Amino acid sequence: MEAQPQPSAATDDVPSRRFATKRAKAETVVIVAVFALYAAFLLRLLLFSRAPGSERSINLIPFASIAEFMSSHSSGAGRVAFANVVGNILIFVPLGVYVSWLPQRAAAWLAMLLVALVSVSVEIIQGVFAVGASDIDDVILNCVGGIMGILIFRLLSAFLREQSLVRTGMAVLSLLSVPVWCYFLFVVRLHL
């Protein structure tokens, strides 16, 4: 009786590796595409929602704008203050998540540096082209949002542990956010 040669584990595993590789590529494409959609929304909101020359103000004193919002007693000031503070934080949370994922295994300080550089660049461009208020408080609040995003990514990574599961989690979260970014990018008229 002759023994049949057993297929090696390497040859059995080839189709599953190809599937895993195709899946990884598809997930990466989804993440990068949704990041591009988010970046387009961010540019539209922060730089293209006002006509050039429409507004130019500069504040380099930390917490001055926030204190002014909080001390204002005019009607509606509370909603404006809340929208400004919370909006500046929330809009940069996704950036913190994405910059933590894009340069994989990057240190948290590097991700935070990238968030801060984006925020400072936006404020400088707003000041130069007079398309908004250049405010150090916006940078501070944007960085708080970026830190929150970095922490969310770190928690996701700690919970899922494997790099492939983290990528899958990022792809799923990215896909779930597509309707939000499309709504803000294409439906809502942004007048700030």
Rounded-to-integer distance, Cα 166 and Cα 172, Å: 10
Contact status, residue 58 vs residue 114, Cβ threshold 8 Å? no
pLDDT at residue 109, as a whole number: 87
pLDDT at residue 81, as a whole number: 78
Residue 23 lies in a domain: yes
pLDDT at residue 187, as a whole number: 81
Asked if pLDDT for residue 89 goes beyond 60, the answer is yes
Residue 8 lies in a domain: no
Looking at every residue in the chain, the average pLDDT score rounds to 84
Report the domain count for the chain: 1
Report, as an integer, the average pLDDT of 43-66.
Answer: 84
pLDDT-wise least confident of 53-57, 112-116, 166-170, 179-183: 53-57
Contact status, residue 36 vs residue 89, Cβ threshold 8 Å? no
| Phi, psi for 131 (deg, rounded to 5) | -115, 25
Q: Which are the contacts of 58, defined by CB distance < 8 A and separation ≥ 6?
A: 127, 133, 134, 135
Reported confidence tier of residue 92, pLDDT bands at 50, 70, 90: very high
| Phi, psi for 58 (deg, rounded to 5) | -130, 130
| Runs of H (alpha helix) within 72-107 | 77-90, 93-101
Tokens at residue 62, please? 């930390």
Asked if pLDDT for residue 84 goes beyond 70, the answer is yes
- Over its C-alpha atoms, the chain yields an Rg (Å, rounded) of 22
Provide the residue range defining the domain that includes 124: 17-187
Asked if pLDDT for residue 1 goes beyond 80, the answer is no
Rounded-to-integer distance, Cα 150 and Cα 108, Å: 7
Reported confidence tier of residue 103, pLDDT bands at 50, 70, 90: low
Contact status, residue 70 vs residue 81, Cβ threshold 8 Å? yes
Rounded-to-integer distance, Cα 103 and Cα 150, Å: 12
Mean pLDDT highest for which of 10-19, 69-78, 115-124, 174-183? 115-124
For residue range 127-152, list pLDDT tens digits in order. 888 888 889 999 999 999 999 999 99
Overall pTM > 0.85: no
pLDDT-wise least confident of 100-104, 127-131, 182-186: 100-104
